[in-house]
Structures are given as structure tokens and as C-alpha cells.
């Protein structure tokens, strides 16, 4: 195809543009920052291989969220058999402008991640897409391939669990 490489370049650009948000989604889904970056990398690899599935004009971010979610579910299933645990407190090796600010946001992040860990994966994905990534129910439903009503009930249950998890953990500031 004469326009094959132009198409590949367009796909790369779309993927690169979506990376920052994809990384956030992956970190919210994974149990640790390292797992989050691994998930992001695996998602990008798969997106590049299956670039023909990406419909031009559609949202690259939604497409990649979906790939990431599927990879994550696969990984969780296989990890359950092997069993590895990486503590959330293992610092993000992402460097902020200010050491203290990084530490503060890291503890906020650790608390948020602990709360999310109590939420089952399918509920967590719905919650993160809507609350963290700002998707509508309709977009989240299309991304995850489920009806809107399912998104609604998953988010409701996720919020119930998060409510329990954050109870007694009254603030981020001590």
C-alpha cells in the first residue's frame, strides 16, 4: 500500500499523544508504579501490532484504555496463580520539581491506590475511566464493551468500596 507508512506514522503519533493519559490509567489499574509502566508498555506494543484495528477518526485513548484493561485482566488472572506482591509504597521513580512536593503527592497517591486496590478490577476500570480520566458513561461503556447500565452499577459499587476503604483515613494532611 502506498500510504502504508504514512498510516503507520499517524498511528504512532496518535499513540504518543495518548500516552500521558494511558500511563495514568495504567497506574490506577496496576498494583504498583512499576506494574503500571509495564502495563503501559505492553499496551503500546499491542496497539502497534494491532494498528489495523484502530479506526481512524476514533479516539486513540479509548482504544488503548480498552487494550490496557484486557491486558490487565489477563495479567491478574495469571498472577493469581503465581502470586507476586509489590508494595504500593515503593516509590514512583518519577521525579517532580520539588522533592517535598513529590513526597506529599506520593503519599496521596499511595492512599488513593490502596483504596482502589480494594475495588474489583471491572469496577475499578469503570470508576477510573469516569472519575480519573473524565469519560462519560457512554464513552466508558464503549471503551469497556459493556452496557451503560453496567457502568453505572460498577461505579456505584466501586464508590461504596472506596467509601469503606477511606473511612477512618480522614485526610491526606497530618
Whether the CB-CB separation of 117 and 142 falls below 8 Å is answered with no
Give 83 or 97: the residue with its C-beta nearer to another protein. Answer: 97
Q: Closest Cα to residue 27, out of 98, 86, 84? A: 86
- Which of 7, 24, 59, 66 lies at the binding interface for another protein (CB under 8 A)? 24
Write down the H helix ranges in the chain.
4-29, 33-49, 60-82, 99-117, 121-127, 137-144, 148-166
Give 75 or 123: the residue with its C-beta nearer to another protein. Answer: 123
Give 69 or 113: the residue with its C-beta nearer to another protein. Answer: 113
Determine the interface stretch with another protein among 50-58, 67-75, 80-88, 146-154 (rule: CB under 8 A). Answer: 146-154
147: left (phi over 0), alpha (psi -120 to 50) or beta: beta
The residues in 65-84 that bind another protein, with binding defined as CB under 8 A, are none
- Which of 7, 59, 66, 159 lies at the binding interface for another protein (CB under 8 A)? 159
Give 5 or 83: the residue with its C-beta nearer to another protein. Answer: 5
Q: Residues binding another protein: what is the number (CB under 8 A)?
A: 55
Whether the CB-CB separation of 155 and 134 falls below 8 Å is answered with no
Whether the CB-CB separation of 48 and 19 falls below 8 Å is answered with no
- On the CB side of 133, CA atoms within 13 Å amount to 30
Q: Write out the residues near another protein by the rule CB under 8 A.
A: 12, 15-21, 23-24, 27-28, 37, 40-41, 44-45, 48, 61, 94, 96, 100-101, 104-105, 108-109, 111-113, 115-116, 128, 130-134, 136-137, 148, 152-153, 155-157, 159-160, 162-163, 166, 170-173
Amino acid at each position: 500500500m502506498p500510504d502504508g507508512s504514512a498510516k503507520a506514522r499517524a498511528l504512532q503519533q496518535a499513540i504518543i499523544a495518548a500516552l500521558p493519559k494511558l500511563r495514568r490509567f495504567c497506574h490506577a489499574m496496576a498494583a504498583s508504579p512499576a506494574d503500571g509502566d509495564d502495563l503501559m508498555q505492553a499496551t503500546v506494543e499491542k496497539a502497534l501490532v494491532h494498528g489495523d484495528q484502530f479506526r481512524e477518526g476514533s479516539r486513540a485513548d479509548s482504544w488503548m484504555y480498552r487494550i490496557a484493561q484486557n491486558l490487565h485482566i489477563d495479567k491478574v488472572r495469571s498472577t493469581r496463580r503465581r502470586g507476586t506482591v509489590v508494595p504500593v509504597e515503593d516509590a514512583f521513580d518519577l521525579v517532580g520539581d520539588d522533592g517535598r512536593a513529590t513526597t506529599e503527592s506520593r503519599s496521596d497517591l499511595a492512599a488513593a491506590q490502596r483504596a482502589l486496590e480494594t475495588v474489583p478490577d471491572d469496577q475499578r476500570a469503570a470508576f477510573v475511566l469516569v472519575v480519573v480520566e473524565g469519560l462519560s458513561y457512554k464513552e466508558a461503556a464503549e471503551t469497556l464493551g459493556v452496557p451503560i447500565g453496567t457502568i453505572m452499577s460498577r461505579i456505584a459499587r466501586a464508590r461504596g468500596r472506596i467509601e469503606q476503604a477511606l473511612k477512618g483515613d480522614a485526610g491526606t494532611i497530618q
